[in-house]
Structure 1
Amino acid sequence: MKKILLLLLAFTGTLLATAQKTENKKKTDWSKIDLSDRPADHLMIQYGGDSWTNRPDSVRTGNGFSRHFNIYFMVDRPFKSNKKMSIGLGAGIGASNIFFKNTKVDIKSPTTRLPFTNVDSTNHFDKFKLTSIYLEIPLELRYYSNPENPAKSWKAAVGLKLGTLLKSYTKGKNYVNKNGQSLYGTSYVEKSSSKRFINGTMLAATARVGYGIFSIDAGYQLNSVLKDGTGPVMRKFSIGVTISGL
């Protein structure tokens, strides 16, 4: 997973460096481009897959598509000296859903470490996930091949994302016995909510590259998903699609 992010970061960095060399050769004065008609703010929507790296055997993810959905309101500020480059800064909500296979995550446990319990041979939920919702501030260094028309432009961005935890909860659906037979009906749902084990601060490195309004994005959490001392040191890796006007 790290290799994918590093590859995307390397590709983005190469694109930025190549673009800068090309501009130096052409000696184009991009500072004179008029971008007054280009929107200075926009929405950025992201959807894709999530996983936790460095998982021990007890943390059995799967039995569902672990995913994220993020939405941000962004402000874009082009560089005065080169309008092909800009800084994007925003705020919004990021939600991550990690699914587990025959594993109970007791987020309300009174223990000091978050239990991940194997429930293969006992009654358990057929679908079980842990959701973490953060208020996030993304920061991006951006490049556009055609800053006057972003809808017909190659684009690349690298950045950081800082988040503060708003809510974390588990959700189990369809309680079954060890043979997979539903006990209360397939629509039965049980939720538990607690922020005690989940890291209250999230810091991630991000990168994306694409054309027009679509881009492929990747992110890697630099700090642990769980608070220090409450469980294994695991980090979230994300890869998905971004829809953004800039």
Structure 2
Amino acid sequence: MKKFLFLFITVACVTAANAQDSTVTTTKKSKKDWSKVKLGNRANDHFMIQIGHNGWSQKPDSLNTRGLSRSFNMYFMFDFPFKSDPRFSIGIGAGLGTDNVYFKNTDIDITGRNSNKLTFKNVADTNHFKKYKLMTTYLEAPVELRFAVNPENTNRSWKFAVGGKIGTLMSATTKGKTLQNKNGNTINAFTQKEKAKRFFDGTRLSATGRISYGVFGIYGAYQINSFIKDGMGPDVRPYQIGLVISGL
């Protein structure tokens, strides 16, 4: 996770530095009065879709995650440019964030049927599901400080944003498909779902950042507070890195 974040921050710093140099040069040459820029026809990133990898930092070795865990987020945003310098703006919105984390040979006691804590049991030596995942859905409100190198035509401009988002947990579900024995032979090709929110923190606070050129870019997010309630399970912190589409 640290390598991903280091790479993301490095790319952000290099790109921002290059964009700033370009902006300073342009400003020196043209001495543009940003307060007179017309923004009537520009796209304000009112709609944003994020598709990314979802990981858990501080994850104990006993948690046997597998495959490419993924996230899908969708937000509707309002954009408020600064009157003195419309390259800067504040973005505020609302939407949904969904995470899918995949596990191998694991049973998660999400309902607390056998324990008063959230346990992740290794079931490799007994019956287990061939495919197993934990799904969470949040209603979220993102806030961003935005910068566009060319505020008059953001669909052909470098764009940068840093901020955060607060979310409330709507649902938490485990889903297992195809029950197998310890030798990998199918016992029953059925799907089992269990839902419960009792062990998860009902509020999610995340720091966010993104870099785009036009409508396409990359984003990153890191959950600041605990994913699982204190004392109820491992103190993992979800993070996301992926692609973003923003426009309109």
Question: Does TM, normalized by the shorter one, top 0.5?
Answer: yes
Could you tell me which of 60, 83, 106 is aligned with 1:56?
60
**2 CA distance for matches of 1:41 and 1:210?**
11
Deviation (angstroms), 1:37? 2.1
Deviation (angstroms), 1:44? 0.5
Counting only pairs closer than 5 Å after superposition, residues 1-246 of structure 1 correspond to structure 2 as: 1-9=1-9, 11-12=11-12, 15-16=15-16, 19=19, 22-23=23-24, 26=28, 27-40=31-44, 42-62=46-66, 64-110=67-113, 111-185=115-189, 188-245=190-247
Deviations 1:156-196 (A, max 9, x none): 111101100010010001111111111112xx110000001
Unpaired segments ≥5 residues, structure 1? none
Of 152-161 and 9-18, more deviation after overlay is shown by 9-18
**2 CA distance for matches of 1:181 and 1:78?**
60
Unpaired segments ≥5 residues, structure 2? none
**1 CA distance for matches of 2:216 and 2:45?**
17
Deviation (angstroms), 1:33? 0.4
**2 CA distance for matches of 1:224 and 1:75?**
29
**1 CA distance for matches of 2:7 and 2:186?**
44
Percent sequence identity is 51
Of 234-243 and 37-46, more deviation after overlay is shown by 37-46
Deviation >6 Å, runs of 4+: none
Q: How many residues align?
A: 243
Task: Give the aligned residue type for 1:4.
Answer: F
2:215–2:245 CA contact under 8 A, matched in 1: yes
For residue 60 of structure 1, give the secondary structure of its aligned residue in structure 2.
coil
TM-score scaled to structure 2, two decimals? 0.91
1:56–1:232 CA contact under 8 A, matched in 2: yes
Deviation (angstroms), 1:16? 4.8
**2 CA distance for matches of 1:41 and 1:53?**
30
Of 127-136 and 78-87, more deviation after overlay is shown by 78-87
1:5–1:207 CA contact under 8 A, matched in 2: no
**2 CA distance for matches of 1:173 and 1:14?**
45
**1 CA distance for matches of 2:16 and 2:88?**
9
Deviations 1:12-33 (A, max 9, x none): 3565566556448524221110
Task: Give the aligned residue type for 2:2.
Answer: K
Task: Give the aligned residue type for 1:65.
Answer: L
Distance change in 2, residues 1:75/1:6 (3 Å): farther
Deviations 1:186-238 (A, max 9, x none): xx110000001111111111111121101111111111110111011110011
For residue 161 of structure 1, give the secondary structure of its aligned residue in structure 2.
strand
Deviations 1:75-120 (A, max 9, x none): 1111111111111110000000110111111101142221100011
Deviation (angstroms), 1:4? 2.8
**2 CA distance for matches of 1:6 and 1:122?**
40
